[in-house]
Amino acid sequence: MSCLFCKIASGEIPSAAIYQDERVYAFADINPKAPVHVLIVPREHIDSLAEATPEQNDLLGHLFWVAAEIARNKGLAKGYRVVVNTGEDGGQTVDHLHLHLLGARQLTWPPG
């Protein structure tokens, strides 16, 4: 298994879990862009949102629920942002589907 986020989600590379269940693993981004910056990944390898299939709709919905649950647990009552960088133009650098949960500061729009 060569995928970085597969290794993190499986525990092959140790990390502190922010949330985990049988389908999902969440951990802190190594290079945070906000005071709260959590990465939420499916344990199942999916290259990117562009490769997700209708059979994975329930998993994708669950990932978003997990993002909201972590935001609640971290007290982000004023709001937050969930980002899914996809492909080269989307700025995706790790080819394992992941949600970024960003919060605890005023975020600007549009993104760069």
Is residue 106 part of the contact set for ligand 5GP (CB under 6 A)?
Answer: no
Question: Out of ligand 5GP, Zn ion, none, which partner does residue 66 contact, by CB within 5 to 8 A per kind?
Answer: none
Q: What type of residue sits at position 29? A: D
Confirm whether 37 is a catalytic residue. Answer: no
- Site residues for ligand 5GP, 46-75, by CB under 6 A, read none
CA distances from 106 to 4, 36, 42, 47, 64 (A): 30, 12, 28, 30, 21
CA 66 to chain centre: 9
Whole-angstrom Cα distance, residue 1 to residue 81? 31
**Residue 94 binds which entry of ligand 5GP, Zn ion, none, with Cβ cut-offs from 5 to 8 Å by kind?**
ligand 5GP
Q: Which does 6 bind (CB under 5 to 8 A by kind): Zn ion, ligand 5GP, none?
A: Zn ion
Q: Is 24 helix (H, G, I), strand (E, B) or coil?
A: strand
Rank residues 31 and 53 by Cβ distance to ligand 5GP and give the closer one. 31
Query: What is the signed CA dihedral for 46, 40, 25, 28, rounded to 10 degrees?
Result: 130
Q: 25 forms bridges with which residues in the sheet?
A: 20, 41
Query: Would you give the binding string for ligand 5GP spanning residues 73-102, x where CB under 6 A is met?
Result: ------------x-----xxxx--------
Active-site positions read 98
Binding-site ranges for ligand 5GP (CB under 6 A)? 4, 27-31, 39, 85, 91-94
